[in-house]
Structure formats: C-alpha cells, structure tokens
Amino acid sequence: MGELAKRGHAVSVISEYEPKEEIKNYETIRLTKSVPYDGHYDLIHWPEQNLFVLNKYMLDTGVVYAEAILQQKIIQELINSNRTFDLVIVESFFNEAHTAFAEHFKAPLICFTSQPLMEWNYHLVGNVKLPSMSPLFATPFEKHMTFFERLQNSLLSIHDCVYKELRYYPDQQALVDKYFPNKIDLKKVYTNTEMLLLFSHPLTTGPSLTTSAVVEVGGFQIVSKKLPNDIQNILDGATNGSILVSLGTNVECRTLSKEKLSMFLNTFRKFPQRFLWKCPIEIPNKPDNVYLFKWLPQTDILAHNNTIAFVTHSGLLSTTEAIHYGVPMISIPVFGDQLINSLRVKRSGIAERLPFLDLTENGLYEAIRKVTTNPKYTEQMERVSKMFRDQPSTPLDRAMHTVEYVLKYKPGSLIRSPASDLWWFQIYILDVLLFTFVSIVLFSLFILLALRKLIFSLKQNKRKID
C-alpha cells in the first residue's frame, strides 16, 4: 500500500497500524483493536486436533473477525459517507463480507493473501482445486500424498465445501445485509474478483494450478535496510557465525514452559555461534552467546554475511526471506501452514525439521549441529536461493503492475475463468458422471429386460413346437 502511494496513487488503508514512516498520499483509517484470539484451540497442540472440527472452528471464527471490523464506528462512517474509490483491494482470509466494499463503492476488486492458493481464496477467481494435489491448509500433508492422505484430504475438502455452502457463506452474506445499506449479492461480488495476488512462489509453496487472474508475488516485502548499531556490532563480531531465532508472534519465549525455555538455552550454550532471539522478557543466567531482543529486523539480519542458520517456526514470510538470502533453517513448526512449509523445506534439503511437540534437547542440538557443520545444507540453499531470485521482474513490480493494469483496463470477464459461474459439482463433472452412471445402469437394465423377454419368448415358442 505504501508503494502504491509512493507511485502517486491516493491510498486509504483500513488497519490497526500506522506506517512507521510518513508517506504522502497515504491515509490510515485506524481501527480499534479487533477481536483477540479466544484461545479456544491450543495452537501448540494443533497437530493433535480433529481436522474436521478445526476447519469448522476456523470458518466460524472468520465470521466473528469479519464482523469485528465491519461493526466499528469508523467503518460504518466510511460506508455511509459520500467517498468514492477507483479500486478496492481486500486481504482475503475467511472474510468474504469485506469484498462487498467493491460493490458498495462501484469499484473493481483485487484480492491479496499472504499465503499460496488455498481453500479460502481459490474460488475468488474460478481456480480449480483438486483434492488429489492440493492439501487443505490445516493438514500436515504435502502435495505428493499417499492414498490414505488423499482419501482424508478429499473428505476434508467435501466437508469444507459443504459447510461453506450451508453455513459459512450465508453467515458472510448476513454480515453484508446487516452492515451495508444497499442489497449486495456477495457471491456475485467475490466471484468477480479481477485479480488475485498470492504471496507464493513454486520454490516456497510448490507449484499450483492457477488461472490467468492469479499473480504470484512471493517475496515482494523483502527490502534490505540498515541494521541498528547494536545488532550490527553483534553480527560483525560473530567470528564463528550467528544464528537467528524466532518462533513467530504466537509462540514467544514468554509462552514457553520453563522446561522448554531451559532446553533452548542449554542447547544454545553448547555452540560457539551467537544466537539472536526475538524474546521480549529478561532471562536470568542466560548464556553469554545468547542475545535477547523485544523485536528484531529479521530480513536485515538474514541478509548479513555472518548469519549462518535460522531457527524458525516456518511461517511463509520467514521461509521466503530465508530462501531469498540463502540461510539454511532449523524448522520447528507449530500450527497452520507451518506444518506444510516445514515438510517442503525439509524435502528440498535446505532445513532440518523438528515438530514442536516432539522437541528434545538432543534433537535440537543435532539439528543445529547438522545445519551449521554439514556443507550440503548451505550448498543446496545457495542453489535454491539463486533460483528464487532469478526472476524477470521483482515481485513488488509485478504487484504494482497488476494493480495499475486493473485500474487502467478493468479486464473483468475478458480474463475471468468460466469456473466462477459453475457449482462445485459441475466443476468436478460430478453431474456428468452421475448422468453417465445412471444412463449405463438404465441401459444395462433395458438390455437385461430385453434379454429376459427374448429368452422367455424363445421358451414359449419351444413349448408350442413340442
């Protein structure tokens, strides 16, 4: 959004956050704090949850979060104002109701997501998502699934599809009816999405079957900046190398048990490298080679030549940044897409993988030792990094071109997939297969009845002759 403003567009952003720098043409429509995570599901034990129940919970929570924004006074004032916009960009994550801003302001719609093609965004541009190749977000499956994984993924996909049609989409439509003054057909709005920007790349999220309305811009946020002096000095003085440690925003060191925290510290103490850990608490008697910070400029630390490894939760942004700068990883996935991301980087030979629930001091030590002493990880990561950065244009330029292309041409139906106008059972030709099956059965029954009648007639004639 900041880049669009810098390129001369007047940009209004609904957000809880202000930019750190003052940007001309950039307006923040400042939200109050939205609904916090209710803790109903223990994120640490995500892999042990029932996936059907978990998927339902995520969808239901999405409706709550979508309403938490629409009901705010400043948003209602915006909706009922006389303001106009030439384009609406919506970050898509279980919040279809927000796409109604496009119809309300009579502007084309672009959707963006900080994930690859997933079950909450593929329908926006008529993408076909095959359960045999595309694991659901909540699963720990890779794209090359076994038979039973494909079976489970197919059942989950059916559950996801049916629940959305019967409950989730009607709930999102109800939010639109409640908070927008004019009648808006929500499905018509979101299936008319002009373009979908994905934070993905084949090397970070695997290949996907995408329509021409999908543009992959994975890594567009990566911009190197000057490091703060204290961190610069720590990294410059790391003659044995430095290791970045971050388990994301949901699993910080203050949420770890005493046993887990001691396990990390005891492991780090055994290495000659310097560890920079995003840890917003003071820890008494910490090892001298461990440096704690409330916040760390992750991309800039990864860019430093002395950073030799990254202990990470394998969130997609972190994974992308590590690949961009060629830093091999020790992956400790906790929940969500981290499970799939960690499997992918492990299979690519650029990381060691340790699921959080299975973490032990010896396992963590061995993983760090392998990544920091075996050159195969660094060599493979350098190769993958070169492949990732070898692009005809920067991801940010592709994102800007996509936005300005829609502003200029409003391509609409000219590039819209016909799948947007089909029901899911039509997309997967289930109606055709059912018709074919019924036709074969009826034809077989007809032949069977004809044969029985013929045989019966022959028997009758034989009796008359006898």
- pLDDT: which is higher, 64 or 460: 64
CATH superfamily for 229-389 is Glycogen Phosphorylase B; (3.40.50.2000)
Q: Which of 68-77, 114-123, 260-269, 345-354 is the least confident region? A: 114-123
Evaluate whether 31-220+394-424 and 229-389 have a shared fold.
Answer: yes
In this structure, are residues 186 and 103 in contact, taking their beta carbons and an 8 Å threshold?
no
**How does residue 33 score in pLDDT terms, banded at 50, 70 and 90?**
confident
3 state DSSP class of 329: strand
Tell me the per-residue pLDDT of 35-56, one tens digit each, with 9 for 90 and over: 655 555 566 677 778 889 888 9
Q: How far is CA 423 from CA 163, 212, 428, in A?
A: 14, 20, 9
Round to whole Å and give the CA distance between 347 and 263: 26
Round to whole Å and give the CA distance between 357 and 131: 27
Domain boundaries, the chain: 31-220+394-424, 229-389, 436-465
In this structure, are residues 157 and 131 in contact, taking their beta carbons and an 8 Å threshold?
yes
Q: Read off the pLDDT of each residue in 343-370 and give the average, rounded to a whole number.
A: 94
Phi–psi pair at 429, nearest 5 degrees: 45, 35
In this structure, are residues 246 and 311 in contact, taking their beta carbons and an 8 Å threshold?
yes
**How does residue 375 score in pLDDT terms, banded at 50, 70 and 90?**
very high
Tell me the per-residue pLDDT of 388-437, one tens digit each, with 9 for 90 and over: 999 999 999 999 999 999 999 998 878 888 888 888 788 888 899 999 99
**How does residue 256 score in pLDDT terms, banded at 50, 70 and 90?**
confident
Q: Read off the pLDDT of each residue in 118-143 and give the average, rounded to a whole number.
A: 84
Measured from the Cβ of residue 177, the count of other Cβ atoms closer than 10 Å reads: 14
Please give the DSSP secondary-structure letter assigned to residue 44: G
Q: Would the pLDDT of 240 be above 80? A: yes
Round to whole Å and give the CA distance between 43 and 40: 9
CATH of the domain spanning 31-220+394-424, picked from 3.40.50, 3.30.70, 1.10.3470, 2.60.40: 3.40.50
In this structure, are residues 275 and 284 in contact, taking their beta carbons and an 8 Å threshold?
no
Tell me the per-residue pLDDT of 292-341, one tens digit each, with 9 for 90 and over: 998 899 999 999 999 999 999 999 999 999 999 999 999 999 888 898 89
Q: Strand pairing partners for 11? A: 26
Q: Work out whether the CA dihedral 97, 336, 317, 132 comes out positive or negative.
A: negative
**How does residue 466 score in pLDDT terms, banded at 50, 70 and 90?**
low
Q: Which residues of 376-401 are buried (b: 16+ CB within 10 A; e: fewer)?
A: ebbebbeebbeebeeeeeebeebbbe
Tokens of 446: 């007809």
Please give the DSSP secondary-structure letter assigned to residue 359: -
3 state DSSP class of 29: strand
Cα angle 190, 191, 195; round to 5 = 85
Instruction: State pTM to two decimals.
Output: 0.87
**Tell me, what's the pLDDT at 394?**
94
Identify which of 352, 298, 354, 353 has the alpha carbon closest to the alpha carbon of residue 325.
298
Tokens of 198: 């994905």
Identify which of 121, 126, 103 has the alpha carbon closest to the alpha carbon of residue 212.
126
Q: What does the mean pLDDT of the chain come to?
A: 91
- pLDDT: which is higher, 46 or 271: 271
Distance of CA 115 to the CA centre of its chain: 3
Tell me the per-residue pLDDT of 80-111, one tens digit each, with 9 for 90 and over: 999 999 999 999 999 999 999 999 999 999 99
Q: Could you tell me which residues come within 8 angstroms of residue 252 by beta carbon, excluding any fewer than 6 positions away?
A: 278, 279, 280
